[in-house]
Every structure is written in C-alpha cells, then in structure tokens.
Chain A
Amino acid sequence: MSLSTRALLNEIGAELTKSLRAPEFVLPTLLMPTTFYLLFGVMLSQSGGAAAYLLATYGVFAVMGPSLFGFGAGVASERERGWLSLKRTAPVPGYLYVVARLAATVLFGALALLPLYAAAGFAGDVTLARSDWALLLLCHVLAVVPFSLLGLAIGFTFGANAAVAIANLAFLGLAVLGGLWFPASMFPDGLRAVGQALPSYHLAEVALAVVRPDPTRKVLPHIAIIALTTGVLGALAAWRWSRQR
C-alpha cells in the first residue's frame, strides 16, 4: 500500500470515526429520512404510487444531509479552529483531505440509504427489477458529489456559525423547492421555476426515471444539467479552497 493510499484511508477512517462520535449528527442524518419516509410514504400514503415516488425523492434527500452538514458546517468549524492550517503543514497532499471527506460522505450517505431502501421494499411494497434497485442506489450515492461540493464551498466561505445557518437554508430550500418532499408540480409557477433550477430537482427526476420508466420522459437533459451544476460547484469549491492560503 503506497504511502498516500494509506494516508487517504486513514483520513477517511478518521472522518468516519469523528462523525460516528457525534450522535447529534449521526442519528438525525441516518434516521430522519427513513422516519419521514415511513410516515409519508407508507403510513399516510393514499395511493400505491407514493411509496415508489417518495423512495426516489427521499433517497436524494437522505444523502443531502451528510453532504451539506458534514462538509459545509464541518469544514467551517475546522477551519476556524486552525485544523486546516495544521493539515496544510502535514506531509500529505492537501487534496487528500477533500477526497477523504468526499469518500467518507459517500459512505455515510450509503448508510442513510440502507434503512430507507429496506423500508421501501419491505414496508412500502415497492417492487423493482434487481438491476433497477442497483441503478437507483448508484444514482442516489452519486448525488453525494454535487451536494458535497456545495457544502465545501459554503464551508470554505463562511464562518462556523454562519455556515451552519446557510447550510440549513440550502438544505431546506433544495429539499422543498426541488420537489423532494412533495412533487414540484404542486407549486405555483414562480416557485416551480426556481425549483427546476436546482440540482435536487434534476437528481430526483433521474431517480424517478428509474422507478417509473416512461419513454416520453427524457433523462439525458437532467443528467446534463446535473453534470454542469456539478462542474460549476466544483469550480466554486476549488476557488474558495485556493483562497484559504
């Protein structure tokens, strides 16, 4: 194992250990999406379709929490405490820090998805072909990337207290306006237009395409918009990172 691989793994391990030692972060992040899902998708659901629909959208919601808060607020407070400066003096490349955080967030997001998928399949009677279950999971896990980059940009830009508030705003805005809690079609035109500009909306559309295949619905434009948004957020995060020196 090369030195930098070991350093990366150690870094990821440290991130996970740190997160797991903060139950006030772990419990809501891991359990809230599933609890919401059981409430709205299973118990209060009027139609059979809600369980599948909400699985697609709550899956996006589930990875948003760790991505925005783990990265957003987390980076800001570490930066304020001088941890980042310390890191920079350590004999490992600086980007490892970011890659490790991203990897840890992917794992954490996956942990949040486990109970959600179990609830959908066993309590919500959602049936999908095996390949579609796997595809949906891939789609949800990859959703970590754009949200993490957004979180990172917030964390590098604002102070610890402000970052928490802004991450919260982003979290709620992306979830509600992006149609993750209710279908975006229920909103008035103006709000809907705002929602359709958000990456959460397009990620949900891609997930919905897996759950409810519809040949008239085009997936590629959504994927293109997500790729573009991810690129922009990546550039923004990189720029804010470069301003740390």
Chain B
Amino acid sequence: MLARNLVLALAGIIGSFIVLILLLPTPSDTLDAATSLVIDDVRYFDGERLVGPTRLVLAGGQIAAIGAHARAPAGAPHLDGEGLTALPGLIDAHVHTYGTSRRDALRFGVTTVLDMFTDPMNLLGARESRDAYGAADAAALFSAGMLATVEGGHGTQFPVPVETLQDSSEATAWVAARVAEGSDYIKLVYMPDWPGRASLDFATASAIIDAAHAAGLKAVAHIATQKDARALLGAGIDGFVHIFADSIVDDEFLREARERGVFIVPTLAIIATASGQSTGPGLLEHPELGERVDALARVNLRQTFGNVRSPIFDLDKALTNVRRLHEAGVPILAGSDAPNPGTAHGISVHGELRLLVRAGLSPAAAIAAATHVAAEQFGLEGRGRIAEGARADLLLISGDPLVSIEATADIRTVLRNGFFSGDALPPAGESMRLAGALSDFDTGLNGPSGLSWTATSDALMGGTSKAQINLLDGDEAGRGGTLAVQATVTRAFPYPWAGAFLAFGGPDQSADLTAISAVRFAVRGTPARYRLMMFEQGVRTPPTVVFTVGEQWREVQIPLADFAGFTATRFIGMAFVSPDAAGEYTFALDDVQLVP
C-alpha cells in the first residue's frame, strides 16, 4: 500500500516539476520584435564543426536562442537561411585603425578588430560603441593605442606622435599613461638586432611587460627573429603579433611557448608581401570581395615593398613555424596587419585564413583562429562564438568553409549586433579615386574619399602653436562646404607649424602617386605665404612648397615635381600649414584634388 502511494507521490512531484519548468519564463518571452531577427534553416559554425540547419533567434543585440523550435518574438522579421552558413563575426587580431578602416572591416564580415598601434585619439568613444548593442556601421575596436618603442625605433616612422621610452625606469609611468588613454593591452616593439633601427633594450621590454601585468593588462610584442621572441618568452610576454620568419622554430621554443601559454598572431599576409609573394592582388579577383573593395584598398592590396628582400622574411619558414606551433598546441590567431602593403582592412582576413590553411591548419582551426580563439586569448566576452547569450555578430556565407576555406569570401550578408550592417555602409566600389577630388567638403569633413582630416601643430613635438579645424557648411561664394582652419603660431619650437593634415591611411598605409602630376586646391585666408608639406613613409623632414594666400578665393596648383626629394611612391599625407611668423591666422580650403 505504502509502495503504491509512494509511486503516486513520486509521479506527482516529478509531474509538478515538469509542468512548472514548462511554465517558467524563458528569455524569449521578453524579446522585442523591433530588435529581433530570426534566421531559419541556417547551418552554423559551433567552434569546431557546422551544425544545423536550425534556427537562430537574434534579439536585443544578442543571440537569444538556437534551435529548430526556438520561440521567435511575434512580428520579428525572418531571413531564410537555407543554403547559408553562419560564422561568428570575424576578429582581425592585428590591424592599425584609421579613418574609415573599421567600416571597411565590417563590410567583409570582420565585426571586431584588435588594433596594435594607432593614435590614442582614435580610442575616444571606442569602449562605449563596442559595448552598445544597437545598430552599428563599423567593427568594434579593441586597441593597444600607443606602442612602446624608442626614439627612432620601429613605429616612429609614421606620422603619429610617439611617446618613446628611454629606459626601464619609465615603464610604470608609460603603462599608466596607456591605461589612462584607454588601451586594452600593451604592445611593444623588440628587435634589438634589426639593422638601422633602434629598439627597446631587454630590461625596458621586461619592465613594460611587468608593468602591463601589474596594471592587469596583457602585453604583446612585435618581434623579427626567433631570438627576439625567445628572449621575451622568458620575460613573460603574453603573445606575439607577428611570427618570426628568419628560422624554423625549434623544439625548445615550442615547449616553452606551450608551457607559458603564449599565443601567436602570425600576420602571414604581410610576410608574404615582404617575401615578394603578396596575396593581395589574388583577393581582388574574387567576385564578391572585389565588389566590396574600394579604390584606396585596391591600391594597398597591389602595393609591394619593391624588390627589397630580407632573409628574415621567408614565407616558407613562416608557414612551417605556424604549422609547428599549431601542432604543439600554441593558440594561433588570425591577423591581417592591414593596411600594410599587400593588405587592406577586412578583405585581408579572408586572405589570412587561406594562408593559415596553407600553413597546415584545418579550415575549422583557421576559422577558430579568426573567431573564438582570438576572443579567448584577449578575453573578449560574448564575441567569437555562436551561442545563446553571445553577441549577434554574424557573417552569412554560401558554401561550406570547412570543405574549402575560400568559401568564407562568398559573403551574403554581415550582421553586427543582429542588425544588417550593409544597409548603413556607403556603396562599395570605386568610391574614391586617387586621381580626382579628394575632398570637396560638401558631404562632410571626410567625403567623398573617406580620407581623414585632422588639425596639426608643432604641439606634437613640444611646441606651443595651436590649430583647430571646422567644417563650414554655409554656401559661401557658391562653394558649398569648406574646411576652415584657425591657427595660432608661436615661436616656442624651432620649426613652428599649425594647420590641417590630410592622412592617406593608417600609420603603416601609403599610396603611390607616381601617376599624379600636381595637387590642386582652392584657398583663401589671412594674407601671407603658406606652406604645403608632403609626407612619405620613412621620410622625417617633409618636402615643402610655399604658396600665397589672399582674402579672395583662388585656385592653387602645385606640381609634385616642385617638392624636392619627393618620390611619390610612399605617400602618406599632406599638411596645409600657416606661415612660420608668429600670430593668428585663419584660412579656408576647398576642392582638394590630385591632378593626373
């Protein structure tokens, strides 16, 4: 009797629980259709393999539910995913951001970029925008900000002021300054054997690593040789943002790297370019990628380092090293090092995936390198995985990338926080021509070329001159928008300057102007003799030409031949600056063009 009652009681309790669990609220009950998207019958990459077809319910910027029977909020739009594969939004673990680079990245399915050196000004607002869950038209940014190097060391050749270090005693304060600027990790340059360039010494590099760890940040390094990397392993480095390509990685390095848990971002694409085997032009041939790429990126992808070959950039050794490190269990992350020669933002991650497979990673491991492995190594919560609760950053492609890694390029759509990002992007294609209008200021500060205007002054170098730029959208003298510059020149610096700078790309990015004959622009302002400076990669004193400005608008055309010593092959930007004479100046620019 008791036994029967007990069975009944047991059934009652279990039944109550089943009913209760079916009635209890789940997150999908509270989804808002306005921020939701349902993708039906889609296969997705779970970190190791493709699963599905199933349903992905995206809501409020997150993946709310996965499963063929996942409940969808009423009224939410549905996307037919039949024949499509969803990959987590790609993470490019080595870029240099500038101008429109984060928008370019997103166009190719790169939803998060890990920047390895940029002007710290670019970090303003980056945290807020990457944490938000609304519609976004650019990839999320994590960054090292300023890089650690010495006066004249690698990183100082670019037109970004660099706060260099002299010795190890400065490490703690230097790292504290990066923390204050919003750096997410610390990047240092260590290549003591690099000919012709100074480098941090070992003691300073070690002190920076220790200071980064004390501040709770990871430290990553730019190295050139196995010897450099070996030294930093012992100093506690967390990761290398290039693979050394001077020698085959030895067993002891493999063992120590694995034991210490370091990761590697090989940046094979840039090593390929350096060894004369650039993969950039090949990417342009892909119909989908080629259609999404703009003119400036096209230039970059075709760019090379010329015929200079260095024995320390051997692509075959780099590929072998990546394979050996991967087989030894060292985490490999995909990074493009865009916008260096042969690379461009976004598109080059697809090229890097192919190189990783060529090195010997399985397609699944290569995609992992561009998704969850990167997220895990850099502690990026909610990114790099397709899972309930993860951020709804997705790349939808056709084809099976585990059969052919090239399928990652067959992009159908890109979702950032669950919103279609493509709609917010400017039309792809020939949106910028190197010959033609650079800036007419009619559609904003940086239209139509997307190049970046900033104020510049000798305050960068410790002077006290000041400059401020503004976009004037009034229709003055039929000109539409113009760029107004207010400059105050003081003589506190030996070669004072103040004015506006037009950057042609990131710190590592340059353009070839050999097909250009002149620069033309319209100008008016405080009457005086002003200067136009042309900056080239690796050139510290820019060639300069003087032009006169009056009260009335006038067209100025300056032949490139007038800039003494300008080679036009590594052009990185130009500066329009006021006279050396102390005083206050205002001038306005319009219709800046490159004349073929």
The CA-CA distance from A215 to B379 in the complex, in Å, is 9
- Give min CB distance, A16 to chain B, whole Å: 7
Interface presence of B373 (CB below 8 A): no
The number of chain B residues with a CB under 8 A from chain A is 26
Interface presence of A35 (CB below 8 A): no
The CA-CA distance from A137 to B16 in the complex, in Å, is 13
Among residues 134 to 189 in chain A, which have CB atoms less than 8 Å away from a CB atom of chain B?
Answer: 134, 137
Say whether, besides A125-B25, A133-B24, A216 and B379 are in contact (CB < 8 Å).
yes
Q: Is the CB of B13 within 8 A of A111?
A: yes
Q: Which chain B residues lie closer than 8 Å to A121 at the CB level?
A: 20, 23-25
Interface presence of A127 (CB below 8 A): yes
- B3-11, B211-219, B363-371, B533-541: which lies at the A interface? B3-11
Q: Is the CB of A107 within 8 A of B10?
A: yes
- B26-34, B228-236, B275-283: which lies at the A interface? B26-34
Interface presence of B167 (CB below 8 A): no
- Give min CB distance, A121 to chain B, whole Å: 4
Q: Is the CB of A137 within 8 A of B21?
A: yes
Say whether, besides A118-B20, A125-B25, A16 and B30 are in contact (CB < 8 Å).
no
Say whether, besides A127-B29, A213-B389, A13 and B3 are in contact (CB < 8 Å).
yes
Q: Which chain A residues lie closer than 8 Å to B6 at the CB level?
A: 9-10, 12-13, 16
Interface presence of A128 (CB below 8 A): yes
- Give min CB distance, A217 to chain B, whole Å: 11
Partner of A9 from the list B7, B65, B389 (CB cut-off 8 Å) is B7
- Give min CB distance, A87 to chain B, whole Å: 16
Interface presence of B22 (CB below 8 A): yes
Q: Which chain A residues lie closer than 8 Å to B9 at the CB level?
A: 13, 16, 107
- Give min CB distance, A226 to chain B, whole Å: 22
- Give min CB distance, A38 to chain B, whole Å: 16
The CA-CA distance from A1 to B2 in the complex, in Å, is 14
Q: Which chain A residues lie closer than 8 Å to B26 at the CB level?
A: 127-130, 133
Q: Is the CB of B3 within 8 A of A6?
A: yes
CB nearest to B2 among chain A residues? A13
Say whether, besides A110-B13, A110-B17, A128 and B5 are in contact (CB < 8 Å).
no
Q: Which chain A residues lie closer than 8 Å to B65 at the CB level?
A: 129
Interface presence of A235 (CB below 8 A): no
Interface presence of B388 (CB below 8 A): yes
Interface presence of A17 (CB below 8 A): yes
The CA-CA distance from A33 to B230 in the complex, in Å, is 58
Q: Which chain A residues lie closer than 8 Å to B24 at the CB level?
A: 117-118, 120-122, 126, 128, 130, 133
Interface presence of B48 (CB below 8 A): no
Q: Is the CB of B2 within 8 A of A14?
A: yes
The CA-CA distance from A216 to B381 in the complex, in Å, is 9
Interface presence of A114 (CB below 8 A): yes
- Give min CB distance, A39 to chain B, whole Å: 21
Among residues 14 to 47 in chain A, which have CB atoms less than 8 Å away from a CB atom of chain B?
Answer: 14, 16-17
The CA-CA distance from A126 to B16 in the complex, in Å, is 19
- Give min CB distance, A1 to chain B, whole Å: 8
Q: Which chain A residues lie closer than 8 Å to B22 at the CB level?
A: 130
- Give min CB distance, B62 to chain A, whole Å: 12
Q: Is the CB of B21 within 8 A of A215?
A: no
Q: Which chain B residues lie closer than 8 Å to A114 at the CB level?
A: 13, 16-17, 20
A-contact bits for B550-562, CB 8 A (1 contact / 0 none): 0000000000000
CB nearest to A141 among chain B residues? B17
Q: Which chain A residues lie closer than 8 Å to B29 at the CB level?
A: 127
Q: Which chain B residues lie closer than 8 Å to A127 at the CB level?
A: 25-27, 29-30
Q: Which chain B residues lie closer than 8 Å to A120 at the CB level?
A: 24
Q: Is the CB of B27 within 8 A of A17?
A: no
CB nearest to B70 among chain A residues? A129
- Give min CB distance, B279 to chain A, whole Å: 33
CB nearest to A213 among chain B residues? B389
Partner of B3 from the list A9, A107, A117, A130 (CB cut-off 8 Å) is A9
Q: Which chain A residues lie closer than 8 Å to B2 at the CB level?
A: 9-10, 13-14, 17
- Give min CB distance, A132 to chain B, whole Å: 9
CB nearest to B29 among chain A residues? A127
Q: Which chain A residues lie closer than 8 Å to B389 at the CB level?
A: 213
Q: Which chain B residues lie closer than 8 Å to A1 at the CB level?
A: 3
The CA-CA distance from A110 to B20 in the complex, in Å, is 12
Q: Which chain A residues lie closer than 8 Å to B376 at the CB level?
A: 215
CB nearest to A133 among chain B residues? B21
Q: Is the CB of A134 within 8 A of B13?
A: no
The CA-CA distance from A167 to B26 in the complex, in Å, is 37
- Give min CB distance, A133 to chain B, whole Å: 5
Q: Is the CB of B27 within 8 A of A10?
A: no
Q: Which chain A residues lie closer than 8 Å to B25 at the CB level?
A: 121-122, 125-127
Q: Which chain A residues lie closer than 8 Å to B30 at the CB level?
A: 127
A-contact bits for B355-382, CB 8 A (1 contact / 0 none): 0000000000000000000001001010
The CA-CA distance from A123 to B546 in the complex, in Å, is 76
Q: Is the CB of A130 within 8 A of B21?
A: yes
- Give min CB distance, B352 to chain A, whole Å: 25
B-contact bits for A91-133, CB 8 A (1 contact / 0 none): 0000000000000000100110010011011100111111001
B-contact bits for A198-214, CB 8 A (1 contact / 0 none): 00000000000000010
- Give min CB distance, A3 to chain B, whole Å: 12
Q: Which chain B residues lie closer than 8 Å to A134 at the CB level?
A: 21
The CA-CA distance from A1 to B7 in the complex, in Å, is 13
The CA-CA distance from A1 to B4 in the complex, in Å, is 12
The CA-CA distance from A121 to B22 in the complex, in Å, is 11
Say whether, besides A10-B3, A107-B9, A127-B30, A117 and B388 are in contact (CB < 8 Å).
no
- Give min CB distance, A7 to chain B, whole Å: 9
The CA-CA distance from A120 to B27 in the complex, in Å, is 14
| Most chain B Cβ neighbours within 10 Å, of A1, A110, A127, A129 | A129
Q: Which chain B residues lie closer than 8 Å to A137 at the CB level?
A: 17, 21
CB nearest to A7 among chain B residues? B3
The CA-CA distance from A100 to B590 in the complex, in Å, is 89
The CA-CA distance from A234 to B189 in the complex, in Å, is 57
The CA-CA distance from A141 to B148 in the complex, in Å, is 54
The CA-CA distance from A120 to B379 in the complex, in Å, is 32
CB nearest to A132 among chain B residues? B26
The CA-CA distance from A14 to B2 in the complex, in Å, is 7
CB nearest to A104 among chain B residues? B6
- Give min CB distance, B64 to chain A, whole Å: 9
Q: List 6 A-B contacts (CB under 8 A).
A: A6-B3, A12-B6, A17-B2, A107-B9, A122-B25, A216-B381
Binding site for B on A (CB under 8 A): 1, 6, 9-10, 12-14, 16-17, 107, 110-111, 114, 117-118, 120-122, 125-130, 133-134, 137, 213, 215-216
Sort A-B residue pairs by CB-CB distance and give the 7 closest, nearest first.
A13-B2, A9-B3, A121-B24, A13-B6, A127-B25, A127-B27, A133-B21
With A121-B24, A129-B65 given, name 9 new contacts (CB 8 A): A9-B6, A12-B6, A107-B13, A111-B13, A114-B13, A114-B16, A130-B24, A130-B26, A133-B26
